[in-house]
Every structure is written in structure tokens, then in C-alpha cells.
A and B are shown apart, each in its own frame.
Chain A
Amino acid sequence: MEASSAAEQRVNASDAVGGPVLSVADLRVTFPGRAGRTLAAVNGVSFDLRRGESIGIVGESGSGKSMTALSVMRLLPPTAQVDGAISLESEDLLAKSDRQMRRVRGDRVGMVFQDPMTGLNPVRRIGSTLREAIRRHRDCTRREADDRAEEVLRSVGIPSPRERLRAYPHQLSGGLRQRVMIALALVNDPDLLIADEPTTALDSTIQAQILDLLKEQVTRSALIMITHDLGVAAELCDRIAVMYAGRVVEQGATAEVLRSPRHPYTVGLLNAAPDFSRRGRLTPIPGAPPQIGRVPTGCPFRPRCDRADATCEQWPGLEERDERLVACWYPHG
């Protein structure tokens, strides 16, 4: 299948699959700052995700993309104040107790992080980790859990899975460890998979394998892919939300956003990356992303934007036009 049409076909295939698995509405995450100020890490993120769909949350460091993922898992530090609504299969996740959330994590929601070593206990065998993950949520015998663990390792393409159950994490390569992490996230057939930079630490040929694996998985659940790499999002995601300084600045169908980006930041990101089509001078975005607590008022991108004027001191709001959400007074196109 040609990459150009794959994303569009997935969008069509997933049209009629019922209500959203996950619904995030006007999510805000703030932390207490000095002198009674509040620091906004995430500022008004909204999206729905259906079974079979994938959304890429794309941004640079400090954009709030990981905070968004952690909010869904309710894994933010205790000082974080979360507002808005997050519902999984119509259940309000923000209303759940910590105990109830532990039943959700690892069961209905699986998560894959950038560094597989952070998710694997170095002194436990792979099999023991998987077995625990299964038996925490399922009433089954050790033998049944072993069978399921073997099955899930096989499904993520790990050779000789039965033997691998006895391996320790350090005995596996980085690519295999990330496959184990994905197996761990999938072991209880989650409704939602959240992957935070799952391939960033991997070599490109291994990254391609892992992206293919995640692509297969999307058909069975829903996927949130957190990445800094628009190329990775293009490979995998039906839709993308581009975040900058805690805000979504552009959101829409991946192919459309990449073909005709409207927000100057999205345009800037695409122009800044070398892409094989030309050699010669790159066009960087001037300056650097703001640190939390130093985010300008109004449009956070305005100090770096060549289109900005005094109007941009007001936040433009995320407005919808032609099925695209754009937060800009002077959008492209």
C-alpha cells in the first residue's frame, strides 16, 4: 500500500465504529508557581478518539504533549491541577479514585514510554513482569498467564517467545525491549494505547519495525502517539494535533495538515526540517520555544512568528474551518 493514501484509507475505515473510546475536552493542567501564580503546562486541549483511530500529538520539549498523555493516565505529580474533562468509554476518568485508576491503567489503557528500561524492572524476568500485569487484572492461573504472555510476545514479533519469558531486560536489545514494553501495554487488550516517543531511542530500521507493529495494533484499539517528529506522525496517525507552549495551535487530518499547513508554527516546522527534496539553506524558526512560566500572553508563538502584529497579543482561539482547527489571526491558505 502506498503511504500517501494509507492514512486517508484508515480514516475512512474507522468512520462508523461507534462512540469515542476517549474524549478529552478543554483539558488544562496547571502547576502552582512562585508568588501565587499558576503555570499552565496544558491549556485547552480537546480531541475525541474512536476505536481504530490514531492521533499524533506533536510538539517540541515543553509543548505540553507528554503532560497531555500523563493527564489521561492520571499520572501527573500531585501538585498538578487538572481541569476539563477526560472520559474513557463515557466514564469520567477525573472522577475516579486512585484505586479505581489502578484498575484502568495496564488494563483498559496501556502505555509505552521512550525508554523501555524505565518500564521494566531490571531484576525481574520478562515473564514475571508480564504475568503480574495479567494477574493484577485477570483471575487466572499462573499457567494461563504464561500462555497469554507467550502469545502477546509472539504477537509483537519477538522470536522464540517461550524462551524470552525467562530473559532479563538487559539480555535484550533496545528494539526487543521496546517490543516487550509494547507487549506489556497490550497484554490485557486495552481500549486505548498511549505511546510517548516510543521510537525516539531506536535506530531507524528498528523504528520502522516498531511503527509497523503499532500500525497493526491501531485496528484493534485507539492510539495516542506523542512525538516530536512530524514524519513519525505522518507514518502512523490519522489526525495530528500540533502543540506549542501548552496549546494546540493546529489540529486536523494528518495528510491535510502536512499538505497545506495553516498555522505559521506548523509551516515553520515543515520548512525547518531537511526533507531530501532540496539542498541549500534551511529556513529555521528564529528564537526558541518559551519555558513554562515565561509563555507570552496572547498567541504564544508571536515572538517567533513573521506574521505577528499587535492583534496577536490576544489569543486567537482555536477556530474550525474546513474540518481543520487553527489558532491564528493570520493563518496560511
Chain B
Amino acid sequence: MNDSSPVGTPMDETVPAPASGDQPLLRAERLRVVFRVGQRGLPAVNDVDLTVSPGETVGLVGESGSGKSTLARTLIRAYEPTSGRIVYDGQDITHASEGALKPVRRSMQMVFQDPYASLDARMSVRRIIAEPLLAHRVGSRREIRERVAQLLEDVGLPPDSGDRLPAQFSGGQRQRISIARALALETKLLIADEPVSALDVSIQAQIVNLLQDIQRDRGLAYLVIAHDLALIHEMCDRVAVLYLGEVVEEGPADHVVTNPQHPYTAALLAATPVPNPDHGRERIVLHGEPPSALDPPSGCNFHPRCPIARPHCAEESPPLAELPDGRRAACFYPGELTAVGRVDGRSQEHC
């Protein structure tokens, strides 16, 4: 940690428990995932702290290579963390065995981006949705049949869908099937990796609304991975912005997305095309591309592309420091670069 940081204070080493007393459902502490590439180590996720509370929706946003999908897959223990800790529902699952993970996986489910690739084309929809129940040996045949019928109804599919094959459904309906499958067990945490980005625009809102209805009815926690800031803003209570495996900004989604403090978040917001000719956003076009995590830059990871970088930024890495409004940003000069311009002399702060 450095002493010359002009803003805020570095976070404590330990993350304090929320004051309200309700424990987070999922907590990652200083999580690191390093992949071996030949003789070298590629840190895909680097010292990430993250919490998801019951009933909360947390977003992970970043570009390809930012580590957002690796982080999510590590949290469900599809990958082994290199260091750090994952606590789920009060249980340390960082290095839990497959056997110990089985009960955990009952309540932690995932929905993937591509509803064409994530459903077995030769299985009936009933079988697809029943698969988690069968894998965990939950219920009799009749109970499973009734459960599937209920799930089809819950996700808005016609009752006769169970006998059909995925190919007979549109993309939006297939994503409903994936969601039904993810809800089959006593799900507490649903991880959705780009849940609508493969769908037609007119269908995306249907799926977003369905996910929100399900959350309201069942009190699920969501971890939503997306590249689309508008979607994150719509769906999430909190968001963590990732760049090259590290969280660069984290806080309430409404603040972070509409009033970013980290220049990378500001650039992401500016780069999001909106169909509004009067949006009045500044154009911030970043030069170059994200560097390779195999060969990260010195100092701040973002400094080679950062429009406001100072020489100092190439030497020291800014800590993820808390700002007065409670969010955290890893920048020596937070809030200096904004994506918000002025139109007609009127502030567009809440455009």
C-alpha cells in the first residue's frame, strides 16, 4: 500500500462483516487464480474481494480477458483458486473436495450466454430441467414430473414444452429452459454469464424481467456477468468493474455506472452506444487494447491506455480505496475523467 495516495484510505486487510448482521451468502477474499502458460503464470484473477448478500444482485463488468468469467467459474469451484478464500453460506469452500461441494452445488446454479450450446440437443426439455434433480437424487419420478411442470409454468413456457426438444424453441425460450433448470433445486445463488447477450433485442427485456420476477418471488441472490453497462445498471444493486483480473471500481450500480470515478469505467460508459441522439455524452476513445496479463504493465494496469495517467501511475499501483460516497476505486485521480458532458448548458448528470 502506498502513502502518497491523494484520496481515501486503503481498505483494511480484512473485510468487516456487514453492520446489519446478515452474513453475505458468498464472500471471496483476496482471491487469486493463476493459470499456467508454459513456464509462466497468468494471473486471470488478482486479489479480488467480492461479496454477494442474500437477495442481492451483484454485477461483474469488464471486457474479454478482464477475468469476469474466470472469477465466476472459480466462485462455483469450476476452477481451483491459487490463493485467497471463498466462503459460501458460512462454509469455507476454497479447497473443498468434490464430495463436500455436492451439497453446496445444489443451491448455486449457473445460466450461460448461449442457449443453443448450453442445452443438450437430444434431450427432451423435461429431461433437461429434471437433470439437476436426478443428479442429486431429489424426489420420486412423480414428484420430479410435477416439479418440472411447475418450473415450466414459473418461467413462462407452455405446459406441453416438456416433451419437445430444444431445437423446437426460439433463443428466448431456450434461455427460459436454462433458467428453469437452474431453479430446479433449492437455488440460493444464480450466476448468470451474459444471460441475454445472445438474444434478439426485443427478447432481452423478457428474460431480464423474468429474472427479476424470480428474484422477487424467491429471494435469490444473483451474480450477473455482462459487458453491457446499461444492462448492469438495470439489473444490479452493486457492480464490480474488472480490468486485467483486478477490481478497479466497486460500489452501488447506480452510482458507478452513471457517475464513474475510475477512468476505465468512464471510458466503458462513453463507449456504450445508446440510441439517443441527445444523450450528450463525451466521447472517450481509449487507444490500444488491454495488455496481456502475462506481461502486465508496471504500476497501474490501466495507465498505458489511460487518458489522465501521470508519470507516477507507471510506478505505483493505486489501491482500491474507499471514496466519500462509500464506493471503492483503484485510481490516484478518481472522478477526474467523466463520461458526462453538457448539452444546452444543462448538466446531464443523470442522463
- Contacts from A to B (Cβ < 8 Å): 2-4, 7, 60-61, 173-176, 203-209, 211-212, 228-235, 254-255, 258-259, 268-270, 272-277, 279, 281-286, 288-289, 304
Known: A2-B343, A61-B200, A276-B233. 13 other contacts (CB 8 A): A3-B283, A7-B277, A174-B64, A204-B268, A204-B271, A205-B63, A230-B275, A269-B201, A274-B208, A274-B230, A276-B274, A279-B233, A281-B209
Contact in complex: A275, B274 (CB < 8 Å): yes
State whether the Cβ of B202 lies closer than 8 Å to any Cβ in chain A.
Answer: yes
Task: Please indicate the chain A residues that have their CB under 8 angstroms from the CB of B228 in the complex.
Answer: 204, 274
- Contacts from B to A (Cβ < 8 Å): 63-64, 170-173, 200-206, 208-209, 212, 227-231, 233-234, 254, 257-258, 267-268, 270-281, 283, 285-287, 289, 341, 343, 350-351
Contact in complex: B202, A276 (CB < 8 Å): no
Residue of B208, B280, B285, B287 near A2 (CB, 8 A) is B280
Contact in complex: B202, A284 (CB < 8 Å): yes
Contact in complex: A258, B275 (CB < 8 Å): yes
Given the interface contacts A274-B230, A279-B234, does A175 sit within 8 Å of B289 by beta carbon? Answer: yes
Instruction: List 8 A-B pairs, Cβ < 8 Å.
Output: A203-B64, A206-B63, A230-B201, A235-B273, A258-B275, A268-B202, A269-B201, A277-B351
Given the interface contacts A276-B257, A288-B170, does A259 sit within 8 Å of B271 by beta carbon? Answer: no
Task: Please indicate the chain A residues that have their CB under 8 angstroms from the CB of B273 in the complex.
Answer: 207, 211, 229, 231-232, 234-235
Given the interface contacts A203-B227, A208-B270, does A273 sit within 8 Å of B281 by beta carbon? Answer: no
The CA of A237 and the CA of B351, in the complex, are separated in Å by: 22
The CA of A255 and the CA of B209, in the complex, are separated in Å by: 28
Task: Please indicate the chain B residues that have their CB under 8 angstroms from the CB of A228 in the complex.
Answer: 200-201
Residue of A206, A209, A211, A255 near B277 (CB, 8 A) is A255
The CA of A232 and the CA of B272, in the complex, are separated in Å by: 9
Nearest residue (CB) in A for B203 is A288
The CA of A255 and the CA of B275, in the complex, are separated in Å by: 9
Contact in complex: B343, A4 (CB < 8 Å): yes
Task: Please indicate the chain B residues that have their CB under 8 angstroms from the CB of A235 in the complex.
Answer: 273
The CA of A259 and the CA of B286, in the complex, are separated in Å by: 29
The CA of A174 and the CA of B227, in the complex, are separated in Å by: 16
- Closest CB in chain A relative to B60 CB, distance in Å: 15
Nearest residue (CB) in A for B63 is A203
Nearest residue (CB) in B for A5 is B277
- Closest CB in chain B relative to A53 CB, distance in Å: 17
The CA of A212 and the CA of B287, in the complex, are separated in Å by: 12
Task: Please indicate the chain B residues that have their CB under 8 angstroms from the CB of A281 in the complex.
Answer: 209, 212
Nearest residue (CB) in B for A272 is B205
Task: Please indicate the chain B residues that have their CB under 8 angstroms from the CB of A175 in the complex.
Answer: 289
Task: Please indicate the chain A residues that have their CB under 8 angstroms from the CB of B268 in the complex.
Answer: 204-205
Which one of A232, A235, A286, A304 has the greatest number of beta carbons of chain B within 10 Å?
A: A235
Contact in complex: A208, B275 (CB < 8 Å): no
Residue of A7, A255, A276 near B230 (CB, 8 A) is A276
Contact in complex: B279, A4 (CB < 8 Å): yes
Contact in complex: A259, B351 (CB < 8 Å): no
Contact in complex: A274, B231 (CB < 8 Å): yes
The CA of A283 and the CA of B289, in the complex, are separated in Å by: 35
Which 7 A-B pairs have CB atoms at the shortest separation, nearest pair first?
A231-B273, A284-B205, A230-B275, A274-B234, A203-B63, A282-B205, A208-B271
Given the interface contacts A204-B271, A212-B285, does A2 sit within 8 Å of B230 by beta carbon? Answer: no
Task: Please indicate the chain A residues that have their CB under 8 angstroms from the CB of B272 in the complex.
Answer: 204, 231
Given the interface contacts A268-B202, A270-B275, A288-B200, does A276 sit within 8 Å of B343 by beta carbon? Answer: no
- Closest CB in chain B relative to A264 CB, distance in Å: 12
Nearest residue (CB) in A for B258 is A276
The CA of A7 and the CA of B325, in the complex, are separated in Å by: 37
The CA of A308 and the CA of B231, in the complex, are separated in Å by: 30
Given the interface contacts A258-B275, A272-B202, A276-B257, does A208 sit within 8 Å of B285 by beta carbon? Answer: yes
